[in-house]
Amino acid sequence: MSSQALPLATPAGLTAPGERKEFIAREIKRLKKEKNALILAHLYERIEVQDIADYHGDSLGLSQLAKDTDADIIIFCGVHFMAETAKLLNPNKTVYLGNPNAGCPMADMITREDLIAFKAEYPGVPVVAYVNTSAEVKAESDYCCTSANAVEVVEFAAKESGSNRFLFVPDKHLGGYVQSKLPHIELICWEGFCPTHMRMNPEDVVALKKANPQAEILAHPECDTPIKNMADFIGSTTAIVKRAKESNARTFIICTEDGVSQRLSQDCPEKTFHTPTRASAVCPNMKLTRVENIYKSLLGQYPEILISEDIAEPARRCIDSMMRMPGSSGGPVMTGKA
């Protein structure tokens, strides 16, 4: 279904963009209360979407929030696998993806059939799936991780399963990072990658560092190895935000999607944030959601996220492996503006 399929229910008199914007913001606030809805936004979302959400954060922090919420409706402003994860954790709640067309090209790089064939090549080797996978792929996997806890999850999986060999899907760059931290464990990685993080060029990072020698380089583990090798800090999106806020440095080179630099520029106006890209580091799918889409979700104009129980039950078991692991890090940041 196209996200633009239904017209917005705004009063006919509201023609000025400012008036319309204010009306939609007011309606979102009213409907959210009336329907007991929770709005979650990933840090790669447009800044105005992050600001109208109840919480913004990384995929782990938002999953944890989704698990603990008393809300009846969850509107997940992010990409499809994130809303699916929220639904898996809350089977009895109504879950909408902020824009039903927002997918993740990396998650689409492995299908259930691909994984079944991969497993057949390595019989008995357990599978760790990055949360950036479909529910069908999770249903075929043993453990689940996010970028915030991948190293801890693999360590935990090795202890729990007794195996020192794992298949890791789909991101070869996150897998490579985990492998570098856990040399005693063998990870056999799928050849997936994030097209947005791959647009970041190591030469641009070198040039920025040359121009700003005091700058700290903060990188997401989905970046290519040469960028991670230059980084002062590697972490999930929330971990990058936290580090930049807590650091004494004044200048940062932020090697992840543009939304993080925008968030930081807004939250820390006294600091300077550079993003290393010749092409822009924008995830087009994350930017599909606009404030109007949240309003449409609250009006029930979009299809709910639904997962058949034969897939949901094993996929939930995979996600639970991460939730039951002690001491997983990451976490949301409350906006308090909605």
Quick check: 286 binds ligand SF4 (CB under 6 A)?
yes
Q: Which does 59 bind (CB under 5 to 8 A by kind): ligand 13P, ligand SF4, none?
A: ligand 13P
Q: How far is CA 13 from the centre of its chain?
A: 38
Rule CB under 6 A: choose which of 39, 194, 218, 307 binds ligand 13P. 194
Quick check: 227 binds ligand SF4 (CB under 6 A)?
no
Quick check: 132 binds ligand 13P (CB under 6 A)?
yes
Q: Would you say 49 or 148 has its CB closer to ligand 13P?
A: 148
Beta bridge partners of 130: 145
Site for ligand SF4 in 29-58 (CB under 6 A): 44
**DSSP characters for 156-177?**
HHHHHH--SEEEEESBHHHHHH
Q: What angle do CA 308, 309, 313 make, to 5 degrees?
A: 130
d(CA 271, CA 250): 5
Quick check: 301 binds ligand SF4 (CB under 6 A)?
no
Q: Would you say 94 or 147 has its CB closer to ligand 13P?
A: 147
- The mark string for 173-212 relative to ligand SF4 (x by CB under 6 A, - otherwise) is ---------------------xxx----------------
Beta bridge partners of 129: 144, 169
H-run or E-run covering 75:
strand 73-77
The torsion region of residue 327 among left (phi > 0), alpha (psi -120 to 50) and beta comes to left
Quick check: 179 binds ligand 13P (CB under 6 A)?
no
Site for ligand 13P in 52-71 (CB under 6 A): 58-59
Q: Which of 162, 133, 136 is nearest to 145 (CA)?
A: 133
> Which residues contribute to the site for ligand SF4 (CB under 6 A)?
44, 79, 104-106, 132, 194-196, 257, 283, 285-286
